[in-house]
Chain A
Amino acid sequence: MTRLCLIAGVVLTLCTGQALAAPCGGTYEVARGDSLSLIANRLYKDASKWTRIHAENRARIGDDPDKILVGAKLELTCINGLPLGLSVVAGTARPVEATPPSVDADTGIADAQPAVPVAAAPAQAIRVVTGDDQIPFSDESLPQGGMLAEVIDAALAAGLPDVPVETFRINDWGSHLAPLLSENLMDLSYPWPRPDCDGDDTPRVCREYGFSDPLFEMLMLLFVDAERPVPLVSVQDIQGQRLCRPAGRMVFMLDADGRRWLQDDRISLVRAPTVAACFDLLVAGEIDAVVVNEFSGRAAVAAMGLSDQITGLSRTPLGVVTMHAVVSRQNPRGSELLAQVNEGLRVLRRSGQYREIVARHLISAWAGL
């Protein structure tokens, strides 16, 4: 708790036991790169409060919440004790009883950040980690490092125009979420498929990590020997089968949609270091199917000259998966970074740049098959 107080200057007074009244609410001047959701996330700790900001400043902003001008002065009313530290204009702010920062019951980590606009602080580089062997999405050999490397670079440039970005390629995918993100050694990792985070039984990864808006959508497939007699559709087909999934990649799809292949020990899971290594095992007859997304799978099959031998079961996919950028919920700037990535993605989608990037990479991908 002491350390927390040193980090968050605003909270310092609380630790001394003096419940001082801090001015809450006030005037905020729009900075370059701001959007209403970014402002809401930074100052109210809740991106969805942008609707309140918009509603209360409609006279200044107009009907379109996306059109805010740098230098415009927004009046931010006090909601649940936030925002603090803004310049106070007579009549807009009122003193409130300062409330202690919320503390996560599981982790004991407080949701405390300096309550000042980030634009005022020196920009600290965003550390982004990706890796190879995710064709056509991310691989050093691909133009611009791959489709989603280019999308993320462009989204960060649009969402955080003044913040430097350092990108690392670390091919041990199993290290990305933990420890690289969980220990705050890196801020953002991509691309990752997202399990069903909205279902009754929320997977742990959804509680510990935040997922960006979808970057891409496709099918997760089983790739099998084209001559294979068993179709791998029903529970009986799958019993005792040996499936290969490249190391470090998520395996939720093997249990999704009531499948429970892993949970019920119906299959044996083989982890090979790369997509190609999985296909080597398939050709050698040591496994029965490779579990990989349709694009990476088809690219590997074509590159290995196996198109006549191996087929992806696209009629019976393991499901539709979306690819995302991921932050740790332990990262103090994680949720803001995610909001900025999403804002950048929206900018790219509106301008047509997203479509152009995706199309360029997909044309190459389809031409190579």
Chain B
Amino acid sequence: MISVRLLFVCAIMALGQGVALRAEVSLLTGSGHPPFTDAAWPQRGMITELIETAFTESPEPEPFRLIWRDDWDRHLDLIRNQTVDMAFPWFQPLCDAPQINDPHCVDFHFSDPVIDLVILLFVRADNEFAFTDDADLAGRILCRPTDVFTQGRAEHDQLWHKIESVTLKQPADPAACFDMLMSGDVDAVAVNEFLGVRQLFEAQLTEDVVPLSRPLSTQSLHVVISKTHWRGTSLMYRFNAGLAKLRESGAYAEIVSRHLATYWARLKG
């Protein structure tokens, strides 16, 4: 392995003067989040495939390699200290909102949204939970599991700023939220649609728990890079331009619908 790598470096250096010694762009992600990023999923996940394809389609494309690490809580530090170049997928805080002074907004460039997730309220089927207006949440107890992509920062959800009388419970495990829902300790579980539906199937709660049709909020997933990276803006431009090309060509829709079909087939199977 060492000799192969050394030969590769030699080959680049031998190109001589004026040719940049360019390393591959390293992209950091982790497993365990089907259908988004998961080493065992087809194409290692929907977002993984979208991001790899976007980089391949980008203007002046750069070679890249994926790095898989499952210690998600370390990912953003590895981006900050530039051990790796870029990471995905991460939620973007509301950087333009005046009340939010989030260090992530200072430290990172966020790409255009790779996908938008709908956050739904999951409630007991036997419990009438009227949710036609955000104000309906006043006085309610909600369970919002800490999410690896937000690093447990539920304050990013716009809603908590609007309705101060909501009580939040935040276990790390989403399954714990559904246990609390069934035992009556919380009124609703707020999670993204994919995670919620998967929990229902895994806990065999598909008859007892239903999602409300009105979304609580949406959250988008992004690629991030340090604002102090020597090619931070140019790598982000390449990615965004590649992603836009995917959306225009229809490749984006094809990739997403293929993974969704697999996801549903596996849930029901």
Residue of A nearest to B6 (CB): A63
Q: Is the CB of B20 within 8 A of A214?
A: yes
Q: How many A-B residue pairs have CB under 8 A?
A: 70
Bound form: Cα–Cα A317–B230 in Å: 18
Residues of A within 8 Å of B17, CB to CB, are 47, 210, 335, 338-339, 342
**In the complex, which of the residues A50, A194, A339, A358 has the most CB atoms of chain B within 10 Å of its own CB atom?**
A358
Per the bound structure, the CA–CA distance linking A76 and B227 in Å amounts to 46
Q: Which chain A residues border B60 with CB–CB below 8 Å? A: 319-320
Q: B-facing mask of A252-268, CB < 8 A → 1, else 0?
A: 00000000000000000
B261 sits at the interface (CB 8 A): no
Tell me if B230 and A197 are in contact (CB < 8 A): no
Residues facing A in B177-203 (CB within 8 A) are none
Bound: A262/B255 CA distance, A: 41
Verify A51–B21 contact, CB threshold 8 A: no
Bound Cα distance A245, B26 (Å): 35
B interface footprint on A214-241 (CB within 8 Å = 1, 0 otherwise): 1011110000000000000000000000
What residue in chain B is nearest A334 (Cβ atoms)? B17
Asked whether, in the complex, the Cβ of B14 is within 8 Å of the Cβ of A216, the reply is no
Q: Cβ of A37 < 8 Å from any Cβ of B?
A: yes
**Does B219 touch A at the CB level, under 8 Å?**
no
B233: interface (CB < 8 Å): yes
* Residue B2 interfacial (CB < 8 Å): yes
Q: Are B82 and A355 in contact (CB under 8 A)?
A: yes
A197 and B15 CA atoms in complex are apart in Å by 13
A interface residue numbers (CB < 8 A to B): 37, 46-48, 50-51, 63, 65, 194, 197, 206, 210-214, 216-219, 294, 314-315, 317, 319-320, 322, 335, 338-339, 342, 346, 354-355, 358-359, 362-363, 366
Residues on B close to A: CB < 8 A?
Answer: 2, 6, 10, 13-18, 20-21, 59-60, 82, 106, 226-228, 230-234, 237-238, 240
List, sorted by A's number, 29 A–B pairs whose CB atoms are closer than 8 Å.
Answer: A37-B13, A46-B16, A48-B13, A50-B13, A51-B13, A197-B18, A213-B21, A217-B231, A217-B234, A218-B231, A294-B233, A315-B240, A317-B237, A320-B59, A320-B60, A320-B234, A320-B238, A322-B20, A338-B18, A342-B17, A346-B21, A354-B230, A355-B82, A355-B230, A358-B228, A359-B228, A363-B227, A366-B106, A366-B227
